[in-house]
Amino acid sequence: MLVDYHMHLENGPKTLEYVEQFLKVAEKRGISEIGFSEHCYRFKEARHLLDNPWARERNVDSVSEYLELLTRAKQKGWPVKIGIEVDYIPEVEDEIRTFLEKYQFDYVFGSVHWIGDFGFDLKENIPVWERSDPGEVWREYFAILLKAARSGLFDSLPHPDLVKIYSFYPEEDLSDFITEVIGEIAKTGVCLEASTAGWRKPVGEMYPSREILQVIRGFDIPITLASDAHYPEDVGRDFDRMIPILKEAGFTEFIRFDRRQKTAERF
């Protein structure tokens, strides 16, 4: 039975009834365990970890209430894991570490959404893309992703080629560079995420691409499975499409987490 470890409660009420909606969809799609990984910037206790106007508008929830809600779901015997998705900002790495030490999660994701003040996956920033050099953006993105891996803060790095979201591709061939970065990531022991979310984005392709999947498999990096569901109806969406691609690339296992300990399970 599969797992889906990447979903968010931010668009609904913070209630057990809403959590249960995610579980019901998971059951229908053959998902045996789900994990919530709310964006860290949502939490008032973490406002110092991503301090920009965009994040401040969304800094409205409490991490304590989030943990309490999902702990109650666990106590009911529901197959739920408690995670968090942290925006990795190299300049506040120490502050991220201090924040994470205060709480008990089943897993911690480290995402790269920001290059300086450029939120490259935000629709409103497409004009910034249009006046940027995609090659420079891609190089900086993967450099930060490697720093996130080397930080030792995270259990998995979600949507590892998110930078392709609006199909602004470099003119130069960066395949050797990306392979080198993934090879360095492999040395850290962190997982990388296979996600169906890209099929619901403008790029129309899963994260990561088939080419990058082959590189990840070549370095024997473990993978986590995800839909990045922001609504219950997206839990496990397109897993029936993704799993054959993963198997074709040579993957035979995925990772489960419990209190930040990972266990490999075969498809």
Contact 172, 205 (CB under 8 A): no
What DSSP letter does each residue of 190-241 carry, written as one string?
-EEEEESGGGGSTT-S-BS-HHHHHHHHHTT--EEEE--BSSGGGTTTTHHH
Residue 260 belongs to what domain range?
2-266
CATH of the domain at 174: 3.20.20.140
- CA torsion, ordered 12, 69, 191, 87, to nearest 10 deg: 60
Q: Return d(Cα 8, Cα 28) in angstroms, integer.
A: 19
Other beta carbons less than 10 A from residue 252's beta carbon: 11
Q: Is the pTM of this model over 0.75?
A: yes
Write down the H helix ranges in the chain. 16-28, 53-56, 63-75, 93-100, 126-130, 134-150, 175-186, 210-218, 239-249
- Could you report the per-residue pLDDT of 76-119, keeping only the tens digit for each? 999 999 999 999 999 999 999 999 999 999 999 999 999 999 99
- Could you report the per-residue pLDDT of 149-207, keeping only the tens digit for each? 999 999 999 999 999 999 999 999 999 999 999 999 999 999 999 999 999 999 999 99
- State how many domains the chain has: 1
Mean pLDDT in residue range 250-263 = 98
Question: Is the pLDDT score of 1 beyond 90?
Answer: no
